[in-house]
Structure 1
Amino acid sequence: MGAWLPVGATPLEVKPLSVERGWFLPGGESGAALAPGESVVGDVEVPELSEKEAGLPGAWRGVLALDVYGTSGNGSGRVKLEAIDPASGEAFAKAEAEVSGPAPRAVWAAIASSAQGGSDVSKVFDRNPKTDWHSRYGKDQPKPPHWIGVEFGQATVIEGVRYLPRQGGFTNGVAKDYRVEVRRAGRADWEVMEEGTSDRVSVADKRGPIEVRFEKPMAVEAFRFVVVSDWSGGGFGTAAELEAIGLKLPEREETVEASERAWLEVPAELLESLTGKRFGLRVVSAGGATVVVGTPRWCRIHEAPTGKLFGRSNGGLGPDKLGAGLLGFDGMTEHKQTVLSVMKVREGGPAAKAGLVVGDAIVSASGSPLPVNDLNPGWEWFQRSHEAVLGRATEAVLAAGGTTLDLGVLRDGKVQTLKVKLPRMKAFTTMNPETDPVAAELLEDSLNWVRENQRPDGSWSGDMKRTTFAGLALLATGEKRDVEQVKRAIDWGLEKFPSPEKHGNLGFWAGSYMGILYSEWYLRTEDDRVLAHLELMRDWAYEGQHNCKWDVPALGHGPSGLPYGEKALVAPACHLLVFEALAQRCGMESKLWELLMPYMEMSWSDPKEGGHGAMGYNRSYKDLGEFWSRSGLFATAAHLRGERQDMEKSMTKIMVERHSWFRNSHAYGEPGGGLGLLALNLCDPENYSKVIKDYAWWFSLAWEPDYGLRFTTPHMGAPYMGEDDLMNVVYALVLQGPKQSLHLTGKTSKP
């Protein structure tokens, strides 16, 4: 069974539970099958509070959680979780959980005697001979023999085993003496099928496979290749690939979540006495069928968590705020956490009426335990974050015609169910306000937020970026009542930034936003006051060029020079290209596109050269993690100009394929996410409609009816770029994209 994962407001390490035979779950997790009366044991070391945690007044409590997956058959059982005083052997805290239904089991799982970090067992089954498994080395290096193999979920027929040694490099771990073993169905012991010695190898030798074919096909529960000794004499084991002859292993299944959890709470006064000490953990199968349990987890939770516990938002994994606007509370979300602790409950909101209070630990939604929270950008966040789970749960209730969401809350050592009445009656359908009446209500709430929150000086939040989004959102409505508010924003911009230098040394970003708003304003009103400023911005950018490391012109954050060892960066240039494309529709002449194209081509990951299609950070860093906004912005500029359709298509294609990275745009968060969605709407409207619909759950959780969107969670860059004021101005614009009322969203005609 796997080690205890360190998670929680204070990650605490727990040693692995000991078990002789594991139960392999789909997705790579491992568990233990415990017959009635059987138990497994481990221990917990409780460290001191960190300086940050100790600086927060108030008490902490501990929570032990045990994943429970079901039984080995179709029966029911019961599992007990006990915290043990190591001195007396007595249990000082207990919990129980009922278990029913069959536990899922992996079709196959990789098994090994040990593995070194970075060279784990998955490398042997990735169909890439350049990667390999390596037995653990260092001060804890186990002695040979070492082995690697496969365990099947049920007896499976194979014809033999093929082992490919590690390719190239040293001979350490390359099998010299070896054997192939199988475990037949219903047996506990391993049976040797063949023993042998491989041909002598040197570092330069081409290392071919070792094949062991059985006399006839055989049904086995598991097989393994055993490295008894290796040609280096160092006592290692390695493998590049391992195959079952006569069988193609299926693709790995998706990770499954626990069907239940057993929760054990250590109250504050007891936890304080345990700090700096160890206590034991025992899991007991307490009757009925054989139960399958997974990884136990432990965390500390504060009675009144605050932002003082937050981690780094710009690229970090928390802790951070998770705003649930629909439900009326803010939680503290953290990577690898199994609970969502409550930070704030809005007075009179749905959660408050249901009885949720600060310090509660939310452990389930609609009767299902929260998954292990995954805040890694991408599909992990999209599927397994608490944000995604809660959002999807609200939409599922509404789609089924329900009115309340059941939240399981751990309070005083027991889980109780709170019924949160949802302040909406219907789920989203298309997420296009033109065809989805619920999305239309959300849009109107966000637009009203924009209308009601303009500052007396004409700006939104005193910031050019938020002012640009807000102004564009109001322009997009086409309503006369909104034009005057946009004019006040234009007046503010003209007065505050009479010359582009006033934007400061990060001015290529802010100035580009201004240029986009000014261009759309002129194309709607023909107010020629802005034209001179478009040309000033063009000239300032053009004169801010410097030759980069690769001897072509590039731009930095502003005109003072190029960052990162003269490598520069793509993002501000992409903003400028969108500004330029719109300003040219206003009659401005410019050559920024021609100036920057060599640098852009160098920074693009060209599919014709084996690249992935996205726009990189620069030539030396063509990533697939923070690509979203810069790819979308360049695609927008190309589309508006009618040039480089090959680049436009490759970028929008990878954006669709990896859309769950949309809020990971480097240093941008929500603005970058919104700009990329606007690009999809412009360049690939069919796929935009699919992508935006995929995020109905997120809009559902963030939207507080009659208010607008609440800020949810930071991701990359936010919240220093704004919270509710950022959410509403960005998505009031994005949701209007399909009606093509701006040139940025597809309009082509002039006033």
Structure 2
Amino acid sequence: MRYGIFSLFAVVSAAAALGAPIEVEPFPAKANWTLPGGESGVLLEKGQSSAVSVKVPGLTDKEKDVGGRWRGVISVDVYGTAQGGKGTLELEALDPPSGEVFAKTTATAGGRAPRAEWGVIASSGQSGAEAERAFDGNPGTDWHTRHGADQASPPHWIGLEFAAPRKLEGIRYQPRPGGYANGVAKNYRLEIRKPGADWETVAKGESPKQVADSRTPLVLNLPGPIEVEAFRFVIESDWSGGGFGTAGEIVPLGISLTKKTEPVAATSRAWLEIPDKLMDLLPGKTFGLRVRAGDGQSVVVGTPRFSRVNEKPTDKLFGRSNGGSGPDLLGAGLLGFDALTEDKQSVLTVMEVRTGSPAAKAKLKEGDVILSSSELPLPLNELNPGWDWFRHSHEAALGRNSEILLKSGKRSMPLAILRDGLPLTVNLELPRTRSFTTMDPATDPEAAALLKDMLALLEDTQRENGSWSDDIIRTTFSSLALMATGDKKYRGRVKKAVEWSMEKYPKPDAYGNLGFWYGAYAGILYSEWHLLTGDKKVLPHLEALRDWAVNGKHNSIWNVPALGHGPSGLPYENKALVAPACHLLVFEALACRCGMKSGIWEMIMPFMEMAWSNPKEGGHGSLGYNRSYKDTEEFWSRSGLFSMAAYLRGERPDMSSAMVGFMEKNHPWIRNSHAYGEPGGSWGLLGLNLVKPEAYTAVMKEYAWWFSLAWEPGYGLHFTQPHMGAPYMGEEDLINATYALVLQAPKRNLHLTGAHFSGR
């Protein structure tokens, strides 16, 4: 690697560092190579090159406050070679005006690059109307060329490229069904590319007026089948005269298109670090990025990416705690370090290494940039909730790799890191010998060992006054986890916690303005304690809490009673929210088993029914925030809590069944629960266990990778920031209590988890 300071960076910028990951356009294709899943790679033959420009944004205020030096890390996915042999490539960062290279590296490629049977090619596309929509079998979805301030100019084209030559008999162009005649093809031509040849025109003309007026399909038949490796339909002008191009569906005649497969990950990457002295000069400026194929076979590369990482990342870089896409904390308890995880970034930066951990023994250190795990590049990180996070986040990659290694009997995980501009591999010894199996401690030895650690942690962290962290939420979950063991040795601890709570909250007003949350937790603790021991001292507290909640109702904007965070009023212009009420409903359902008369359920049900997305009315089945916001993003804890309450009461099975059904199908939103992430994720799992145990079992197995990565044997779980995580809800002192309860849910020792008897 070599560097130079030159004209582009002659003036030092006032900014001293860079911000979030920078978006970089794909390399311009000299020859397309459609990868499985539809992403387009670039095929470079020996001596060929492709380049893009990268404009580096300035610092955000938060990043200015952090200070320190920043490192620029460029990565390019390498998928292999066209023929399956070996190839080489060079990656260069250069000054656009002079062409001088200021940083470079080389990499090798091997193995046959994966290729889709077919891929979409187009001159341009608009967000929400991408070219792939013209080949999805649905004429109601359409392709539209780029429009707006950066409108693409005609001619426009769209077509397919095949991995192997196919016999084309023609095409059918179906105009988009809606809108005006904007983009409907008027003057057109059909071009094909025979194997090894250039594009040639095989048909051209002007479409009949009814193509625009009534959206009649335009069918172009060739004289006979022609073997092609690609075709494209070219729109020279459209019937509106606006210079657009659109299509509802394009069907290649004589060719059957197989269903698209899942995207594949690159098996290797080329890495290049920008020297920190140059990084100080780059904010607000542009540099060039070029990839060149060297000796050997043709190389297939993917989209380049540019990440910026601080040399000493701290929690000052964390994003908005209650929502947003980070940056956030990732706690890799198994490996012994914490990391700064950033959305859409291809690297993971080490924040802290724990003394005596596998990371410390491997001499991993703060600021190291992790490039790969188990010899596979880290995926493009996804921090936003959903399936992409579940499948492709850095957390999921490390966790899944740990389980794969343990199942295969391996005892270490190799990590490739970038240090001082050079990649090197460190091996982290895994402090476990077995992978998880069922995630049920009764049948899974690893889950049993994890539970043992968490229970020991709860024993160690109970305070002298009987509480955990002087907080009713942590105290309730910790007490429930100890009661769930069925071991009488813990009853003294729980009794002390109950007495602490009754002393701290002698009357409901002591719960404060957020009292419906805190009161619900206290009521749940008291109810389970009474059902276990018969202790009648808690009963007056249950009835007082019920009356306080009922009397704390206010009329919502929809003219039905509702509850806020506490009795003082309703938030959000009287729209209120269901979450505090859901906790109260669980408390009341348990208290009714203690002999208390119900009251909150009857009062709040009209509001809850309005907030529910009823499948019979075309809804999705989960419980919304309120009537005006029946979302599919933060449903997890609300739906789980309400379904628990309904099940415990033996009422509204239609609602509870729909809610847990939606949860089962959309479990990757587990960490996006309402406003706090945890304990919302745990509540949802407890709801599944109670209402649909088979769904609980299936979902828990799906998250073995998270437990694997978070667990430090001999300690317990380490904390990773949830998507909707608010730190004031607690970190390791909370998740170890909640998941100690969750892991024991199948034992059904509590009424919350399915008991139907008094255990005293």
TM-score by length of structure 2 reads 0.94
2:734 equivalent to 1:734:
no
Partner of 2:391: 383
Partner of 1:402: 410
CA 739–173 in structure 1, closer or farther in 2 if over 3 Å, else same: same
- What letter matches 1:53 in structure 2? E
Counterpart Cα distance in 1 of 2:58 and 2:651:
60
Q: 2:352 aligns with which of 344, 360, 371?
A: 344
1:357 aligns to what SS in structure 2?
Answer: coil
Counterpart Cα distance in 2 of 1:215 and 1:540:
83
- What letter matches 2:518 in structure 1? A
Partner of 2:305: 297
- What letter matches 2:123 in structure 1? S
2:20 equivalent to 1:10:
yes
2:626 equivalent to 1:626:
no
- What letter matches 1:610 in structure 2? G
Q: Deviations over 1:304-343 (max 9, x none)?
A: 1101111112221111111101111011000011111111
2:631 equivalent to 1:599:
no
Q: Deviations over 1:198-240 (max 9, x none)?
A: 32578xx543332333444444333333322222211111222
Partner of 1:29: 39
Partner of 1:638: 646
Partner of 1:101: 111
Partner of 1:499: 507
Q: Are the aligned partners of 2:185 and 2:238 in contact in 1 as well (CA < 8 Å)?
A: yes
- TM-superposed CA distance for 1:423, in Å, is 1.1
Q: 2:62 aligns with which of 41, 52, 67?
A: 52
726-735 or 633-642: bigger deviation:
633-642
1:163 aligns to what SS in structure 2?
Answer: strand
Q: 1:90 aligns with which of 73, 93, 100?
A: 100
Partner of 1:236: 244
1:269 aligns to what SS in structure 2?
Answer: helix
Counterpart Cα distance in 1 of 2:178 and 2:188:
20
Query: Mind listing any 5+ residue stretches in structure 1 that lack a counterpart?
Result: 1-7
2:137 equivalent to 1:136:
no
Q: 1:326 aligns with which of 317, 334, 349?
A: 334
Partner of 1:4: none
2:384 aligns to what SS in structure 1?
Answer: coil
CA 583–158 in structure 1, closer or farther in 2 if over 3 Å, else same: farther
- TM-superposed CA distance for 1:96, in Å, is 1.2
CA 13–481 in structure 1, closer or farther in 2 if over 3 Å, else same: same
Q: Are the aligned partners of 1:200 and 1:231 in contact in 2 as well (CA < 8 Å)?
A: no
Q: 2:453 aligns with which of 431, 435, 445?
A: 445
- TM-superposed CA distance for 1:589, in Å, is 0.5
- What letter matches 1:653 in structure 2? G
- TM-superposed CA distance for 1:619, in Å, is 2.1
CA 748–9 in structure 1, closer or farther in 2 if over 3 Å, else same: farther
CA 545–37 in structure 1, closer or farther in 2 if over 3 Å, else same: same
1:55 aligns to what SS in structure 2?
Answer: helix
Equivalent residues in 2 for 1:514-533, closer than 5 Å: 514-533=522-541
Partner of 1:43: 53
Q: Are the aligned partners of 2:207 and 2:218 in contact in 1 as well (CA < 8 Å)?
A: no
Q: Are the aligned partners of 2:672 and 2:722 in contact in 1 as well (CA < 8 Å)?
A: no
Q: 1:551 aligns with which of 553, 559, 562?
A: 559
2:623 aligns to what SS in structure 1?
Answer: coil
Partner of 2:186: 176
Partner of 2:292: 284
Q: 1:222 aligns with which of 224, 230, 237?
A: 230
Alignment RMSD, CA only? 2.0
- TM-superposed CA distance for 1:149, in Å, is 2.3
- What letter matches 2:203 in structure 1? M
Q: Are the aligned partners of 1:177 and 1:198 in contact in 2 as well (CA < 8 Å)?
A: no
CA 19–700 in structure 1, closer or farther in 2 if over 3 Å, else same: same
Counterpart Cα distance in 2 of 1:717 and 1:126:
37
- What letter matches 1:745 in structure 2? T
- What letter matches 1:522 in structure 2? H
CA 85–176 in structure 1, closer or farther in 2 if over 3 Å, else same: closer
Q: Are the aligned partners of 1:9 and 1:319 in contact in 2 as well (CA < 8 Å)?
A: no
Q: Deviations over 1:325-375 (max 9, x none)?
A: 111101100001111111100111110100101110010111111111111
Equivalent residues in 2 for 1:651-730, closer than 5 Å: 651-730=659-738
Q: Are the aligned partners of 2:189 and 2:201 in contact in 1 as well (CA < 8 Å)?
A: no
Equivalent residues in 2 for 1:185-196, closer than 5 Å: 185-196=195-206
- TM-superposed CA distance for 1:510, in Å, is 1.8
Partner of 2:520: 512
Partner of 2:550: 542
Q: Are the aligned partners of 2:578 and 2:626 in contact in 1 as well (CA < 8 Å)?
A: yes
Query: Mind listing any 5+ residue stretches in structure 2 that lack a counterpart?
Result: 1-17
Counterpart Cα distance in 1 of 2:137 and 2:404:
39
Counterpart Cα distance in 2 of 1:74 and 1:393:
26
Partner of 1:19: 29
2:473 equivalent to 1:468:
no
Counterpart Cα distance in 2 of 1:454 and 1:362:
37
Q: Are the aligned partners of 1:176 and 1:200 in contact in 2 as well (CA < 8 Å)?
A: no
Counterpart Cα distance in 1 of 2:729 and 2:351:
22
Q: 1:197 aligns with which of 190, 196, 207?
A: 207
Counterpart Cα distance in 2 of 1:378 and 1:276:
33
Partner of 2:87: 77
- TM-superposed CA distance for 1:487, in Å, is 1.1
Same amino acid, percent of matched pairs:
59
Counterpart Cα distance in 1 of 2:399 and 2:639:
28
- What letter matches 1:94 in structure 2? K
Counterpart Cα distance in 2 of 1:201 and 1:242:
14
- TM-superposed CA distance for 1:128, in Å, is 4.2
Counterpart Cα distance in 2 of 1:128 and 1:228:
24
Counterpart Cα distance in 2 of 1:623 and 1:190:
50
Q: Are the aligned partners of 1:180 and 1:195 in contact in 2 as well (CA < 8 Å)?
A: no
- What letter matches 1:198 in structure 2? P
CA 550–308 in structure 1, closer or farther in 2 if over 3 Å, else same: same
Q: Deviations over 1:696-751 (max 9, x none)?
A: 11001100111111102332124331111111011010000011000000100123
Q: Are the aligned partners of 1:445 and 1:707 in contact in 2 as well (CA < 8 Å)?
A: yes
1:458 aligns to what SS in structure 2?
Answer: coil
Partner of 2:14: none
- TM-superposed CA distance for 1:10, in Å, is 2.8
Partner of 1:479: 487
2:365 aligns to what SS in structure 1?
Answer: coil
Counterpart Cα distance in 2 of 1:225 and 1:149:
6
Q: Are the aligned partners of 1:130 and 1:167 in contact in 2 as well (CA < 8 Å)?
A: yes
Counterpart Cα distance in 1 of 2:255 and 2:619:
33
CA 13–402 in structure 1, closer or farther in 2 if over 3 Å, else same: closer
Partner of 1:581: 589
2:66 aligns to what SS in structure 1?
Answer: coil
Counterpart Cα distance in 1 of 2:60 and 2:441:
48
Q: 2:160 aligns with which of 136, 145, 150?
A: 150
Q: Are the aligned partners of 2:211 and 2:217 in contact in 1 as well (CA < 8 Å)?
A: no
- What letter matches 1:112 in structure 2? A
Counterpart Cα distance in 2 of 1:20 and 1:247:
26
- TM-superposed CA distance for 1:249, in Å, is 3.2
Partner of 2:263: 255
2:427 equivalent to 1:419:
yes
- What letter matches 1:340 in structure 2? L
CA 527–134 in structure 1, closer or farther in 2 if over 3 Å, else same: same
Q: 1:121 aligns with which of 131, 134, 141?
A: 131
CA 163–558 in structure 1, closer or farther in 2 if over 3 Å, else same: farther
- What letter matches 2:286 in structure 1? R
Q: Deviations over 1:31-58 (max 9, x none)?
A: 2100111111222333433332222242
TM-score by length of structure 1 reads 0.95
Question: What is the count of residue pairs matched by the alignment?
Answer: 743
Q: Are the aligned partners of 1:77 and 1:289 in contact in 2 as well (CA < 8 Å)?
A: yes
Q: Are the aligned partners of 1:9 and 1:334 in contact in 2 as well (CA < 8 Å)?
A: no
2:69 equivalent to 1:63:
no
2:671 aligns to what SS in structure 1?
Answer: coil
